[in-house]
Structure 1
Amino acid sequence: MTTSPTSAEPVETVRLRVNGVTHETQVPPRRLLSDALRHDLGLTGTHVGCEHGVCGACTILVDGQPMRSCLMFAVSAQDYELTTVEGLTRPDGSLGPVQQAFKDCHGLQCGFCTPGFLTTITAGIAENPDPDRAEALDMISGNLCRCTGYQNIVASVLRAAEIQREDAQDEEGQNR
């Protein structure tokens, strides 16, 4: 542990693997992962709404599992694979399945909560690739939205699962 040149606050060097890229940065030991992503790495897609783990806007994937980044210290995230909303695009840079579904189904309004929904739904569909409406509602139950009324978000979950199944069929056909 060293101290920051501009203050006496101690800092630690951490290596964070985010969206397939390893970043090395110096952070105070109590820096929240959400703050490190936004302020130290410039990944501002992760939004911070409540800073108490309640709203879900800051949800990222930690080794594929949804995690509130406002509840995790950056130093604790070392040795994990982190995926933010910026990492949900396809390899060619086009929209990923969940992002495309949100576009198709008008699943966002103001967009503030959207990154948390996108990461949460990505993990949910990985676990349950064919959810019904009740399962879609359960999948998003930990995320809050103040604008949409959730109907289009639920439709987006179902559409995203459909897109992923179509992608899997296309990939299967190409591998034959």
Structure 2
Amino acid sequence: MKNKRKKIKLKTKFVIIILTLAFHNVKSQTSNSIGYNQWHEINFVDEFGNETDKKGKRYYTTGKFSNSATNNSDLTIRITDYKKYFHFSLFEYNRKPGVIFRSGSYNFVLVSIQDRYGTIIRKGVPILKSGGINIRKKSKLGKIIKKNEPIKIHISEASEYGNNSTYLFKLFY
């Protein structure tokens, strides 16, 4: 009976050590590999997670979001630069999964961009069922983003029920 208890204690200690090491490894990889507020070169992967020869850029920043349940809560934004568009993924409370907009029958969000001179441009952008939004590079909004100059972005999700979720963040500061 004593040997069995010792084995269980030893196994428990071993599992705790492994989990602790794994946590610290993931934490250090995350903090070291993700630089905020700058573009990073990335290699795209296929459906099996293998790197392809296709390359792109990714940009991370932080901001705030509000909805009927919270006000000014933490937000992480990931922007992926594809050939013809920018894909925006938003992570409420800085956690996955990403936001999937549910704008009822509207099927779009209102994106407002304010440049460093105070000029504001607003456009409706279609929502993606898989999550996030795409902004075409040839659109007015896309052309502003391509300049890589300081801008503020406000995204408002309209709802038939009057509950608006809003997302506010800065790029290129």
TM-score norm. by structure 2 comes to 0.31
Higher percent of residues as helix: 1
Higher percent of residues as strand: 2
- Greater relative contact order, per chain length (Cα 8 Å cut-off, separation 6+): 1
TM-score norm. by structure 1 comes to 0.31
Which structure would you say has the larger Rg? 2
